[in-house]
């Protein structure tokens, strides 16, 4: 599949991007647009480093967890050093922590990545050397997952309830439009965005969306970033299909790590059982798809997004639902040149360059492709992997890509795109 590409050159370019974005122990997603450490970006970046520098891959995750709070919370941004190029910066968040961090989290892919790093170390005969580091990370991952159970599932439904669109990693997905209407933006005040100074505004979230993002930051700050208070009164509470699937998968990997390391897995088994029993709440029978659901109104979003297709990655198996999701893939594949658009191209709100309303994201493709391969849907798994590699080979290491014509959007020289290239250029989807 990769023979058509100049793999050696592209592997080298991908490694150069990771090295260039390395700030010493952590990697910025993109030096201009995102000049700090981001949570799930770092997890994916570790997969890339693991292909050529195992030590550095582990360090990426370890650095991220140095910013973990005492209650297990792991922030979505760590502001290791000052940089004027991003808004909202540390003063806006006002979490009053050392290191300075944001007050929301991001999709928990790290346990799945650590599981892979461990397997890589064992395969290289270095398992014993890395065991103490795996044990230390296990405790931290466990504390983070416990934090999810304590603070991001207020009704104990076995899902992950996002308290901010940024928490989902899919900032401006249309899934947040209706739930966002109840956010009062009248007191947000004046502010200057930095993202639209670096990038074409057509590719970015709108002013209304930014007002909502900021209103929620101001709300969290007013609660002193007390996550119990936020879980009670936050004006935005959406059970995110993406995070729910990702956490279920991550708990399965964490349970495997517990077995490997001789740790107690009983609490993890409880979380897994709760998710397996409850995640059906995110199935929309009318649209025949997995999707997010507003906890405050009970309404399904009704959108088919790339996150809907993470059920395979989560290890869920239900013949009727799986067939419906595969039918969505088949239908979508006839409408676009490159899988997997972040929003159904048959949706009237589909926009090929506007961030999470259309473009293809390599990291989501990696999860979708991995899940499809594991579930035995090899043809689609290889298609998703092949499309991802083709986009990068033709256009470069962009933040995201148009599923229609493949054009790159957002920032270039993006770390997680380089990492997914490295993770997928030499091995089939597994």
Binding site for ligand GLC (CB under 6 A): 29, 34, 38, 40-41, 169, 171
Q: Is 27 helix (H, G, I), strand (E, B) or coil?
A: strand
Catalytic, out of 83, 119, 150, 171: 171
Pick between residue 34 and residue 219 the one whose CB is nearest to ligand GLC: 34
CA proximity to 170, closest of 334, 10, 355, 430: 355
> Is 171 noted as a catalytic residue in this protein?
yes
Q: Minimum distance between the CB of residue 329 and ligand GLC, rounded to whole angstroms? A: 22
Q: Minimum distance between the CB of residue 258 and ligand GLC, rounded to whole angstroms? A: 28
Q: Minimum distance between the CB of residue 230 and ligand GLC, rounded to whole angstroms? A: 20
Q: How far apart are CA 154 and CA 371, in angstroms?
A: 28
Pick between residue 89 and residue 169 the one whose CB is nearest to ligand GLC: 169
Contact 320, 289 (CB under 8 A): no
Q: Minimum distance between the CB of residue 150 and ligand GLC, rounded to whole angstroms? A: 23
* Cα 277 off chain centre by: 23
The alpha carbon dihedral of 406, 410, 411, 417 has a sign of negative
Pick between residue 172 and residue 301 the one whose CB is nearest to ligand GLC: 172
Q: Give the number of other CB atoms < 10 A from CB of residue 200.
A: 10
DSSP 125: T
In what helix (H) or strand (E) does residue 77 lie, and over which residues does it extend?
strand 77-78
DSSP 52: T
Q: What is 336-385 written as a DSSP string?
A: -SSS--SB-TTSTT--TTSTTSS-B-HHHHHHHHHHHHHTT-HHHHHHHH
CA distances from 51 to 14, 163, 296, 416 (A): 11, 35, 43, 13
Contact 64, 78 (CB under 8 A): yes
Pick between residue 35 and residue 386 the one whose CB is nearest to ligand GLC: 35
Q: Minimum distance between the CB of residue 241 and ligand GLC, rounded to whole angstroms? A: 15
Pick between residue 120 and residue 358 the one whose CB is nearest to ligand GLC: 358
CA proximity to 227, closest of 294, 171, 283, 154: 154
> Is 399 noted as a catalytic residue in this protein?
yes
Pick between residue 38 and residue 313 the one whose CB is nearest to ligand GLC: 38
Q: How far apart are CA 382 and CA 314, in angstroms?
A: 18
Quote the longest CA-to-CA distance of the chain: 59
Q: Minimum distance between the CB of residue 197 and ligand GLC, rounded to whole angstroms? A: 15
Catalytic, out of 11, 41, 399, 413: 399
Residues designated as active site = 171, 399
């Amino acid at each position: 599949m990769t023979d058509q590409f100049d793999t050696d050159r592209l592997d080298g370019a991908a490694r150069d991007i990771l090295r260039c974005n390395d700030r010493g122990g952590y990697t910025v997603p993109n030096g201009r647009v995102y000049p700090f450490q981001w949570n799930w970006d770092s997890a994916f970046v570790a997969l890339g480093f693991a292909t050529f520098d195992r030590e550095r891959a582990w360090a990426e995750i370890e650095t991220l967890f140095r910013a973990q709070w005492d209650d297990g919370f792991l922030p979505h941004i760590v502001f290791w050093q000052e940089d004027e190029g991003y808004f909202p910066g540390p003063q806006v968040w006002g979490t009053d922590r050392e290191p300075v961090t944001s007050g929301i989290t991001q999709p928990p892919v790290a346990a799945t990545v650590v599981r892979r790093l461990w397997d890589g170390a064992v395969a290289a005969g270095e398992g014993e050397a890395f065991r103490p580091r795996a044990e230390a990370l296990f405790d931290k991952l466990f504390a983070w997952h416990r934090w999810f159970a304590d603070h991001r599932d207020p009704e104990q439904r076995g899902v992950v309830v996002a308290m901010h669109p940024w928490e989902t990693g899919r900032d401006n997905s249309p899934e947040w439009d209706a739930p966002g209407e109840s956010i009062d933006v009248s007191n947000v005040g004046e502010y200057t965005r930095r993202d639209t100074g670096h990038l074409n505004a057509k590719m970015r979230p709108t002013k209304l969306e930014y007002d909502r993002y900021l209103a929620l930051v101001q709300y969290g700050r007013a609660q002193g970033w007390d996550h119990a208070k936020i879980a009670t009164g936050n004006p935005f509470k959406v059970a995110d299909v993406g995070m729910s699937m990702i956490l279920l998968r991550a708990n399965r990997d964490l349970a495997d790590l517990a077995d490997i390391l001789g740790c107690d897995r009983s609490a993890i088994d409880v979380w897994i059982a709760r998710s397996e029993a409850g995640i059906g709440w995110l199935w929309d029978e009318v649209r025949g798809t997995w999707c997010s659901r507003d906890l405050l109104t009970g309404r399904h979003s009704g959108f088919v997004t790339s996150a809907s297709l993470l059920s395979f990655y989560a290890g869920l198996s239900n013949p009727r639902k799986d067939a419906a999701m595969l039918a969505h893939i088949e239908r979508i594949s006839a409408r676009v040149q490159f899988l997997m658009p972040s929003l159904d191209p048959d949706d009237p709100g589909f926009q090929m360059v506007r961030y999470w309303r259309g473009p293809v994201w390599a990291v989501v493709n990696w999860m979708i492709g991995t899940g499809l391969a594991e579930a035995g849907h090899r043809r689609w798994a290889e298609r998703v992997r092949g499309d991802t590699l083709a986009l990068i080979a033709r256009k470069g290491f962009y933040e995201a890509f148009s599923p229609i014509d493949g054009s790159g959007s957002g920032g270039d020289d993006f770390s997680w795109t380089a990492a997914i290239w490295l993770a997928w250029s030499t091995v089939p989807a597994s």
